Amino acid sequence: MKKTVVLFCLLSFFLLPGTKISSAHAADNPIVQDIKAEVANASFISISWKLPSSSESITKFWLYRSSQPMTRTSDLQGAVKIAELDHRLSGWTDTLPDYNEYYYAVIAVTDKPYNIILPSINATATGISMPVPVEKPAEKIQKPEKLYESGTKRETPLPYLDVGTEVKDTSLKEELSKHTIESVKELTYFSDKKQDVMRPYFFEEDLISPDSGDDFLLFSILKDYFIQRDYKNSIIQLKKLIGTNITDAVQNRAYFYLGEAQFFSGEYEESVKTFVKISQIYPQQTKKWIDTALDNF
């Protein structure tokens, strides 16, 4: 009789909601290990963890975010599930909605969620927030007044191109009028020298394969299609990626590669519209592509 009572107490201890168990027990259960959350590139949060040793039964992971520490199962009710991830992933990136502190937890799902919270193991114990940007006072540049001699005409100003520079706008259906295109061609400086052969440009972030997250998704498209010069499929895959909930940094670079793929596919007008979207973010890199694409209209 005593053995039965002891066994019942042990089972009750492990099955009670919110029960905290040690990392030694976590290693034998579908619980991720060593969760970490760090600020990456001052634009998003990088969350990483180690996969559990017994992961055969895991079908996916649920990633939670909360403004309060998560120390027990009941705390998940006040958290937001921000992503459902492949069971092979060991990291993710998140863009915070404000500059407050947030906490993260990763829950493994087998035939049902394994709702066990272990602070510092599968739930962050320390809050993390994005650094508040420091606004620098705008410098006033004094431009000398330009004088025109008698009979000299003033230069025609470059017309405003209302093609949407909002990077979050995933629509690529804006149309540039023929008149606007011709105006840009006439007013953009073109050298008489032969244009250099355009070669694909890659950002440093995409030269090394990342472990996971949005950067890994973009790297996979570049590796499988773009580097293979399969620009048609590159366009398809990059548009799909841009249409998902990815970080601003990855989306900006995806737009740039989309413009390159459209250029190499001969879609020069579409290429110009794509590069104009991010011209304020990458002014030096996009100028040469826009000029060359306009030359090929």
The residue among 46 and 236 whose pLDDT is bigger is: 236
pLDDT in tens, 195-232: 457 899 999 889 888 878 899 999 999 999 999 999 99
Task: Provide the pLDDT confidence category of residue 65 given band limits of 50, 70 and 90.
Answer: very high
Residues 6+ apart with CB under 8 A from 41: 249
The CA-CA-CA angle for residues 36, 39, 43, to 5°, reads 140
Region 120-147: mean pLDDT is 73
Answer yes or no: are the C-beta atoms of 117 and 18 closer than 8 Å. yes
Across the range 95-124, mean pLDDT stands at 90
Tokens standing for residue 209: 């394969």
Structure tokens at 35: 């969760």
Lowest model confidence (mean pLDDT) among 83-87, 140-144, 186-190: 186-190
pLDDT reported for residue 180: 55
Q: Which of 46-50, 130-134, 255-259 has the lowest mean pLDDT?
A: 130-134
Q: What is the pLDDT of residue 160?
A: 42
CA distance 262 to 158: 25
pTM check: above 0.85: no
Please say whether the beta carbons of 221 and 239 come within 8 A.
no
Q: Which residue has the tokens 């025609």?
A: 156
Q: What would the two tokens of residue 212 be?
A: 């996971």
Other Cβ atoms within 10 Å of 139 Cβ, number: 5
Among 81-90, 161-170, 182-191, 198-207, the range scoring the smallest mean pLDDT is 161-170
Is residue 295 within 8 Å of 190, Cβ to Cβ? Answer: yes
Interval 258-293: pLDDT, tens = 999 999 999 999 999 999 999 999 999 999 999 999
Percent of the chain with pLDDT over 70: 68
Q: What is the mean pLDDT of the chain?
A: 78
The three-state (H, E, C) secondary structure of the chain, written as one string: CHHHHHHHHHHHHHHCCCCCCCHHHHHCCCCCEEEEEEEECCCEEEEEEECCCCCCCCCEEEEEEECCCCCCHHHHHHCEEEEEEECCCCEEEECCCCCCCEEEEEEEECCCECCCCCECCCECCCCECCCCCCCCCCCCCCCCCCCCCCCCCCCCCCCCCCCCCCCCCCCCCCCCCHHHHHHHHHHCCCCCCCCCCCCCCCCHHHCCCCCCHHHHHHHHHHHHHHCCCCHHHHHHHHHHHHCCCCCHHHHHHHHHHHHHHHHHCCCHHHHHHHHHHCCCCCHHHHHHHHHHHHHCC
pLDDT at 30: 86
Alpha carbons 242 and 169: distance in angstroms, whole number: 9
Per-residue model confidence (pLDDT) at position 282 = 93
pLDDT for 164 equals: 45
